[in-house]
């Protein structure tokens, strides 16, 4: 249980640093002219660092074989997927259908990681999580600034 607490503390610290970097990187950009577009983009900017921190937590937990921590961190990602599906990407906005398809693949890969972690299938969870990382990279390549 102590290790789960350590992972959570490390995750929070990494998240704080990531949020600072994200705010700095996007502080002066304009993503849309409407208030709704601004609110949506703000929400997207808040989600991305959380995904990064949670993914790092999953990866660390997988390396240590801590399946409960894998579930906790992966569930953080799954909880945010519905909001991600409602978001608009930074670029290629007209390809939003493809954005939602990739987000659905992300959801499936994270869900698979959780299912395998619950079965204590470390090797399977690692393979499933590789698909999560590949899906994130594909989405960022197509839709991120």
Q: Where are the domains of the chain?
A: 2-143
Residue 90's pLDDT is what?
A: 82
Contacts with 110 (C-beta within 8 Å, 6 or more apart), sequence order: 74, 77, 78, 81, 132
Q: How far apart are CA 31 and CA 90, in angstroms?
A: 7
Q: Does the global pTM surpass 0.85?
A: no
Question: pLDDT tens digits, the chain, 145 residues: what are they?
Answer: 556 555 555 555 455 444 444 433 444 344 455 666 677 777 778 888 899 999 999 999 999 999 999 999 999 999 999 999 988 888 898 999 999 999 999 999 999 999 999 999 999 999 999 999 999 999 999 988 6
Contacts with 13 (C-beta within 8 Å, 6 or more apart), sequence order: none
Helix %, strand %, coil % of the chain (to 5)? 85, 0, 15
Residue 33's pLDDT is what?
A: 56
Could you identify the residue written with the tokens 């972690």?
117
Torsion of CA 104, 22, 140, 95, to 10 degrees: 70
What CATH fold (topology level) applies to the domain 2-143? Answer: 1.20.120
- Give the end-to-end CA distance of the chain in Å, rounded to a whole number: 39
CA-nearest of 123, 128, 87 to 107 is 128
């Amino acid at each position: 249980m102590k290790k789960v607490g350590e992972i959570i503390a490390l995750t929070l610290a990494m998240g704080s640093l990531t949020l600072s970097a994200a705010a700095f990187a996007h502080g002066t950009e304009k993503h849309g002219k409407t208030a709704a577009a601004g609110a949506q983009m703000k929400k997207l900017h808040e989600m991305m660092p959380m995904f990064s921190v949670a993914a790092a937590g999953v990866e660390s937990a997988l390396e240590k074989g801590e399946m409960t921590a894998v579930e906790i961190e992966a569930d953080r990602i799954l909880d945010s997927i519905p909001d991600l599906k409602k978001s608009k990407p930074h670029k290629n906005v007209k390809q939003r259908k493809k954005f939602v398809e990739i987000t659905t693949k992300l959801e499936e890969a994270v869900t698979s990681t959780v299912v395998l972690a619950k079965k204590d299938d470390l090797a399977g969870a690692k393979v499933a999580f590789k698909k999560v990382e590949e899906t994130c990279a594909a989405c960022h390549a197509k839709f991120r600034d």
